[in-house]
Structure 1
Amino acid sequence: MEKKIIYFERAGRDNTHACLEVVKQTLGEINYKHLVVATTTGATAMIFSSALKDAGINMVAVTHSAGFKGPNTFEIPDDTLAKIRDNGAKIYTGTILTHSIETSLNSKFSGIYPAMIIAQSLRRFGEGAKVCCEIAMMAADAGLIPEGEEVIAVAGTGYGADTVMVLKAAASKRFLELRVLEILAKPRV
């Protein structure tokens, strides 16, 4: 098998539309049924859900947990969430698997914990690659995508999208069964 990989010169949101084109091309070649997209402010989910609303794909937008930026805060306005849902996407809001409890313990006790080691290991491929793995597991944990199926995952560095991967989905309880099958686009930095 021979596949094309797109490498971006810089990480970040400037690559979002190029990632959307990679996803569209991939969907044109292979009939994937599931797409997970990371979104912080809702902007990336709006772009993807608008462009793919008639693609017949199960799109899941994965957001930060409530309180991620501070107590009692949520980063996506209600009207944006409604528009994303109107485009046919599902929304999952939950705890980032390699964050939260261990981050709290690390802040308090200055230790290193297994989830943090996993997160740092995945970051060797880029922030977006780490997030692609996390959001696929989070969506599987919520029952929004099936385990064991190939899914397209889109994430980025900071805001927007700069990474597209094909993964074999697994729930977080079966993290070691998660497989990165293809890297379709990522920053080279």
Structure 2
Amino acid sequence: MSYTAKTTYYFDEPGPSNTKDCASFAVERAEELGIKTIIVASTKGGSAEIFSDAVKGTDISLIVVTHVVGFSAPGVWEFPKNFADKLESEGVRVIKGTHVLSGLERAISGRAKLGGSSRSEAIAEALRRTVAVGLKVAVECTLIAADQGEIPVTDEVIAVGGTATGADTVCVIRPSHTSGYFDLQVREIVAMPRNR
């Protein structure tokens, strides 16, 4: 039996005050494991900027996953286009993605007020409540990146999510496509909030 000791970090509370530490922990673990890609959720660009700075001078690629156009209001993309263009010019990939663990289902159970919940929403809620909201976000962003062909499903990635804003959860994931969701593996939790 082999065993490798790794450090896991715990934040007292969730939230954006943990973002800089998450960026540092993500780069640290990527370098330890030889992982070449970090995926981070960013709605309006704050986390994207911090992570972009953190990967400078490394050979780690950064993928920023944003909300899809229309998430907050019809036809509106919350992420500043000029900042997305700047990141892209620096080699950062910025992708938009529908929440794969709710998407259309949310329209039926929430907006259409037909009630009930779907199996995919149950998976999302289980990730949120039993581990951390950021884990659900990190898993979802990994699925989005795989479905858009931005990452191979054979290589581990560092995936980062948060609770409402900022980053507070960092994990190592072996990706899958959404259609093969149960092939996805969360292999390590590098950082997470203890109190949710």
TM-score of the superposition, structure 2-length normalised?
0.93
Match of 1:49 among 48, 52, 63: 52
Find the residue that maps to 2:65 and give its secondary structure: strand
Q: Check conservation: 1:53, 1:88, Cα contact below 8 A.
A: no
Q: How does 1:139-154 map to 2 (within 5 A)?
A: 139-154=145-160
Find the residue that maps to 2:5 and give its secondary structure: coil
Question: Alignment RMSD, CA only?
Answer: 1.1
Structure 1 partner of 2:174: 168
Match of 2:114 among 109, 121, 124: 109
* Cα distance in 2 between the residues matched to 1:36 and 1:28: 14
Amino acid paired to 2:58: A
Match of 2:133 among 124, 127, 146: 127
Find the residue that maps to 1:109 and give its secondary structure: coil
* Cα distance in 1 between the residues matched to 2:64 and 2:46: 11
Q: Check conservation: 1:50, 1:87, Cα contact below 8 A.
A: no
Runs of at least 5 residues in structure 2 that lack an aligned partner in the other structure: none
Q: How does 1:1-189 map to 2 (within 5 A)?
A: 1-107=4-110, 108-123=113-128, 124-189=130-195
* Cα distance in 2 between the residues matched to 1:99 and 1:184: 25
Amino acid paired to 1:150: E
Amino acid paired to 2:117: I
Amino acid paired to 1:135: C
1:55-80 deviation line (CA, Å, top 9, x unaligned): 12221100001000011111011111
Q: Check conservation: 1:60, 1:92, Cα contact below 8 A.
A: yes
Runs of at least 5 residues in structure 1 that lack an aligned partner in the other structure: none
* Cα distance in 2 between the residues matched to 1:179 and 1:75: 30
Find the residue that maps to 2:86 and give its secondary structure: helix
User: How much identity, in percent, do the aligned residues show?
Assistant: 37
Amino acid paired to 1:6: Y
> 1:50: how far off?
2.3
1:73-106 deviation line (CA, Å, top 9, x unaligned): 1101111112221331101102011122101110
Find the residue that maps to 2:79 and give its secondary structure: coil
TM-score of the superposition, structure 1-length normalised?
0.96
Question: Number of residue pairs matched?
Answer: 189
* Cα distance in 1 between the residues matched to 2:114 and 2:156: 39
> 1:118: how far off?
0.5
* Cα distance in 2 between the residues matched to 1:42 and 1:173: 29
